[in-house]
Structure 1
């Protein structure tokens, strides 16, 4: 412990404010400015772990970007005498954990929750989760000149550090945090803003009743409460509350995140309505997109009993979720495992995120590599480019599941970049016959640049767009113009391999980096283009990766391979068949010209009765084939490459397409990205929009770090290793992604 009068990192210590298992907090005097700060010193053991030091810096930089009246501001961070420290806004007051529910009016509790909800919803819109919402992290400031009593949320990012380090080993401290943990945190499932909403609901329950929803003397019993036990009645614990408020908790504390409110403020609004003295409604579980209390309210008698069924976290045999290791963990006996781990000397803190070493989540496994940049964005909930498909998993070239990044590099960085005005160009078919794909690219580039410029007034980057009009000839003509424009630091594009071949030499000779979001022709990296960097894996990995997934994770022994006669389809089928080996059934594998009659192929497949049918080709032939297969009674899983990853498959085949698996080198957008993209581009994201954003973000971080000369940017990219929204990014000396990645999608 530091004593008053000591100096730490140039801050003069005035007095201790508190301490816990992870940190000590002191009131300190700023070394240069006439103000007091809260100086947080993390336990010395954190310094010894280089991964935790890096995580601390990333989290501190991430949180420092938050600018909201209900969030405690972070001013600075650093290392001093082998201690990690962070200086924050000093709040003269107390925390919500000190409040006594017996003297706390319900409307005051609601005010605290509503102000906290504003902070959380703001953080969620910029892609940041809190992960440790509880009364002790809600600061209540005393009234001061110019300010009334304020409510501020603190300790963003500390919950993630705790997850990374499994630091809570004292039973009392662990119980105090687990009391507010969501079911998905405890089961290892992916997290999104609804996890913070669940914790906020537990906090409201505590403020109203003096206890958390699930209280227990043992860790195992407490976890079981969150995962399997229906929410208790708050009215039973605090008589006199309107019975309608129970329904609010039934929804906010739903085991399935999809059954909760659409936002934290929606929860607060619903609680405000339910707690009015005249409330005659209860709130019943509804869809997660409920936005207001009014839409959540149902005209049901207030004395109605609890809904007869309450969802629990998915367990074995419940569809796609049955692959979740957490489900098998529960089936094996959660209580016994928790006790065994506790006795062994440390609780397995299963809220570690998917990016943490050894973490588990549905359809994922461990990924390697960490961002070289300091600031990151939470990836968020992954969607699909097309509503007809759902992201299934990310696989490596061996067809094994890998963990999608939980965080991606933030284009804006720390907001302190200084540079001369510079330009990034993007090139592609923004008009002409291929414009539907080409127009997916500029929006991702614009979004990253917009985020960067708003946070970095001292380093402004402009965008120039070059339209190839879907003509390779035009791409070749534009190349000298781009290369000779000294203001252009890098190029994002093109999306097609033919265009990349047309101008690769001109840009490479000018030391100009060009990063393609979608060019996948395997020969591109053999052309010697100095500045070429591929944003997706090459076509060479798609066939083998699918084959190894089918014979590995999917467990298929016999696969019929059908292709069209196009170079794409026949090439994909050839590499897939070679990787399938003995699993490729020669009795039903065939090639059919585009648009030709598929009846003969269907007859062979029906006779062979395979486990799966792979089609290498495009729609509408893919849609016709799967429809004919189902009509012939073939129930084998239908699988195809990115040539069929298009809504036309489902529109053409209808219900017959259900269960089909499609691959794509393209990554799925996330919830916040899709919304932000549409705001900037005026259209939803499309194929390779995510990669365009990732690649632009990487270039921008290089510019912010001082790599503004063309040759410097190329060298920076050669050494880069970091995460994006789609996947990780690291290149070999040919500009190929290493390791290779492929996304699989499924028709629900």
Structure 2
């Protein structure tokens, strides 16, 4: 991995843009011209592989022919220090996979696809196929003054001359992303220009609906969808879209390439014409909340249990070998008894990539107390639904602030509870669970007043909450005395474990884990000159002390700076920090100051890695830091969600999930697992939870006798 300031083949490295199995891509300054380029390097171990080298050189030669305003240009290629490299046009913008489809007007989605269609038809006219069209390869450049937005197609990395009979991969060119791959690519048939058209149609489907046509939980189901089943109509998922658009997509997604449109542009024009057909409902700004329920949206989930044709089943084995599919499994569970033996999560499904609950914060993985990165995928199954089963009606209580200054946090928790119960109730008409809300106003006194009513309701078998540590301190003994399981998705004060409550369970790690985990991670990554900066709050001072202690000799005493809460000008602090020339800065405090401090550090020329705790884990940090936020590392006790969870949450709750929504969902799902397996009294359910072990969408869950997570971890995020 090259570092900022390194010189490679004459290019000065400015920052990393991305990476993958083949190598890395850097932003670099041209050695002679006043411009930046995207510099692509193959991994050094590929240098002696003549097959890989042939693929790389052919890629560069092919793309160099494609002089088109909608195609990312290639400038040069070569070999340096045993590494093959290629310099390409740098696009200042985003790729289409970063676009939120919810507010995206359908006309703009079709415009994006129309521009890509022009690029593909041009490439096809020169004999070049792309073979990997997907939103991540569609670049949306920032508008330049006096010019509109530009749409470009990138990464013809597996493009090949249509008449080339050479084989550049031993396993048969199956490098297209499965969700966008054509049937002929998946079945081993010869692809052609209409294969790219199929992938463009899948991309348009995603831009319109926020999901691909055959989204499913297993590779087998995705492949079966592409090979054997018709695409679902987009008008059923987003009712304001005209049915005429369904017909256009049906044709572009035909299994037989001969039944598709004659060109990509013909497809794009047909889609634009279909949008002009009036519909009964045309909302001015659609949101995901207007989309149908998740069951209607993902009919392919059920296909994972179907028997596949022999050819498709064999193909799945090949795919697993080619693209390195990682399966995450959990033990299958449990009986309907109230046994105290170990209880495990009752399903086994593949892992789902994590998605941030704060937009712009990309999950990297989980950190343990030693700073080890121990996981980078959301481990558990989703949706976490059992059934169908029958039971007497029961209720789950939720206690937290639903009005007042902290209502957003309470709403996040309630949303997670509601989603889990809604999914369960729809699966189990003979075992209905009701959510009962108790508004604590984030006030310990109010919470204590509500606690007797919660425990007096005989139908309530568990409580999700209280939300804050103060509320929990005030009510915990009442709940414990009543034998009511109470699971908090957000209370993290370590003193909660010292009261001897036998029915208390924390949904995330203690506050005390954040400092050692982050500090030791920085040291392990080679940062040995760290400035620890704090605000003057109790939170900031405590986190700074713990972080300094955990850093040991890596902490620089010369820049142990304190800034004032509410400050806007950090000139003095910036001078002290830059004078110390640290390789990293850890900020212990809140986002209200951390964003501005980082922006002013970058303006002063500091390139030190910027890290902070969960006080900065807020959209306000991103807005305060602006473009300087990119690359900042932030830890949070809170875990990420997943794209399916995000979609379903928005559909039901009419807003995006927030911090602690995933934890609330996980804890509610654990309670529902217990109910589904016959544990419908407080005592039985308590025994079930005490022996529970399983993965959720945010964390893994198993508890000690005090209610602490047995394997507590924090999540590490990177600002984008």
Whether 1:668 aligns to 2:618 is no
Name which of 270, 275, 288 aligns with 2:252: 270
Partner of 2:559: 588
Q: Aligned partners of 1:735 and 1:491: how far apart in 2?
A: 14
- Partner of 1:587: helix, strand, or coil? helix
Q: Aligned partners of 1:494 and 1:547: how far apart in 2?
A: 30
- Contact 2:637-2:714 at 8 Å conserved across structures: yes
- Contact 2:649-2:656 at 8 Å conserved across structures: yes
Partner of 1:738: 710
TM-superposed deviation, 1:351: 3.4
Q: Aligned partners of 1:465 and 1:238: how far apart in 2?
A: 55
- Contact 2:401-2:442 at 8 Å conserved across structures: yes
TM-superposed deviation, 1:625: 0.9
- Contact 1:245-1:274 at 8 Å conserved across structures: no
Partner of 1:351: 324
Whether 1:442 aligns to 2:414 is yes
Cα gap change, 1:624/1:277 in structure 2, threshold over 3 Å: closer, same or farther? closer
Partner of 1:222: 171
- Contact 2:587-2:612 at 8 Å conserved across structures: yes
Partner of 2:585: 613
Partner of 1:134: none
Whether 1:516 aligns to 2:488 is yes
- Partner of 1:745: helix, strand, or coil? strand
Whether 1:560 aligns to 2:531 is yes
Partner of 1:155: none
Whether 1:294 aligns to 2:244 is no
Cα gap change, 1:561/1:293 in structure 2, threshold over 3 Å: closer, same or farther? farther
Q: Aligned partners of 2:260 and 2:690: how far apart in 1?
A: 66
- Contact 2:370-2:516 at 8 Å conserved across structures: yes
Partner of 1:454: 426
- Partner of 1:626: helix, strand, or coil? helix
Cα gap change, 1:607/1:546 in structure 2, threshold over 3 Å: closer, same or farther? same
- Partner of 2:641: helix, strand, or coil? coil
Name which of 690, 694, 700 aligns with 1:722: 694
- Contact 1:214-1:222 at 8 Å conserved across structures: no
Q: Aligned partners of 2:423 and 2:560: how far apart in 1?
A: 50
- Contact 1:379-1:725 at 8 Å conserved across structures: no
- Residues 353-400 of structure 1: CA deviation (Å, up to 9, x unaligned): 25269xxxxxxxxxxxx9813235655342212222222222222222
- Residues 128-171 of structure 1: CA deviation (Å, up to 9, x unaligned): xxxxxxxxxxxxxxxxxxxxxxxxxxxxxxxxxxxxxxxxxxxx
Partner of 1:245: 194
TM-superposed deviation, 1:714: 1.7
Q: Aligned partners of 1:643 and 1:493: how far apart in 2?
A: 21
Name which of 552, 573, 578 aligns with 2:544: 573
- Contact 1:245-1:271 at 8 Å conserved across structures: no
User: Which stretch has the larger CA shift, 480-489 or 532-541?
Assistant: 480-489
For residues 111-510 of structure 1, the aligned pairs below 5 Å read: 221-222=170-171, 226=175, 245-248=194-197, 251=200, 262-264=212-214, 265=231, 269-272=251-254, 279-282=261-264, 294=271, 351-355=324-328, 372-376=344-348, 380-403=352-375, 404-408=377-381, 410-415=383-388, 417-510=389-482
Q: Aligned partners of 2:596 and 2:548: how far apart in 1?
A: 22
Q: Aligned partners of 1:293 and 1:394: how far apart in 2?
A: 46
Cα gap change, 1:253/1:697 in structure 2, threshold over 3 Å: closer, same or farther? closer
- Partner of 2:365: helix, strand, or coil? strand
TM-superposed deviation, 1:269: 4.0
TM-superposed deviation, 1:712: 2.0
TM-superposed deviation, 1:669: 1.6
- Partner of 1:550: helix, strand, or coil? helix
Q: Which residues of structure 2 form unaligned runs of 5+?
A: 1-130, 135-162, 215-230, 235-248, 275-317, 331-341
Partner of 1:638: 610
- Residues 433-455 of structure 1: CA deviation (Å, up to 9, x unaligned): 11111110111111111111111
Cα gap change, 1:232/1:432 in structure 2, threshold over 3 Å: closer, same or farther? closer
TM-superposed deviation, 1:250: 6.1
Q: Aligned partners of 1:539 and 1:378: how far apart in 2?
A: 31
- Residues 190-248 of structure 1: CA deviation (Å, up to 9, x unaligned): xxxxxxxxxxxxxxxxxxxxxxx999999x611666379x999989x999x99752432
Cα gap change, 1:293/1:514 in structure 2, threshold over 3 Å: closer, same or farther? farther
- Contact 2:254-2:260 at 8 Å conserved across structures: no
Q: Aligned partners of 1:296 and 1:644: how far apart in 2?
A: 47
Cα gap change, 1:559/1:489 in structure 2, threshold over 3 Å: closer, same or farther? same
- Partner of 1:247: helix, strand, or coil? helix
TM-score, length-scaled by structure 2: 0.59
For residues 30-69 of structure 1, the aligned pairs below 5 Å read: none
- Number of aligned residue pairs: give it: 469
- Contact 1:399-1:547 at 8 Å conserved across structures: yes
- Partner of 2:355: helix, strand, or coil? coil
Cα gap change, 1:275/1:558 in structure 2, threshold over 3 Å: closer, same or farther? same
- Residues 88-110 of structure 1: CA deviation (Å, up to 9, x unaligned): xxxxxxxxxxxxxxxxxxxxxxx
- Contact 1:375-1:414 at 8 Å conserved across structures: no
- Partner of 2:546: helix, strand, or coil? helix
Cα gap change, 1:606/1:489 in structure 2, threshold over 3 Å: closer, same or farther? same
TM-superposed deviation, 1:580: 0.9
- Contact 1:371-1:409 at 8 Å conserved across structures: no
Backbone CA RMSD of aligned residues:
4.2
- Contact 2:201-2:252 at 8 Å conserved across structures: no
Q: Does 1 or 2 have the higher relative contact order (CA < 8 Å, sep 6+)?
A: 2
Q: Aligned partners of 2:165 and 2:329: how far apart in 1?
A: 29
Q: Which residues of structure 1 form unaligned runs of 5+?
A: 1-180, 185-212, 298-341, 358-369
Partner of 1:680: 652
Partner of 2:597: 625
Partner of 2:32: none
Q: Aligned partners of 1:401 and 1:723: how far apart in 2?
A: 17
Cα gap change, 1:611/1:223 in structure 2, threshold over 3 Å: closer, same or farther? farther
Cα gap change, 1:371/1:651 in structure 2, threshold over 3 Å: closer, same or farther? farther
Cα gap change, 1:371/1:561 in structure 2, threshold over 3 Å: closer, same or farther? farther
Cα gap change, 1:560/1:483 in structure 2, threshold over 3 Å: closer, same or farther? same
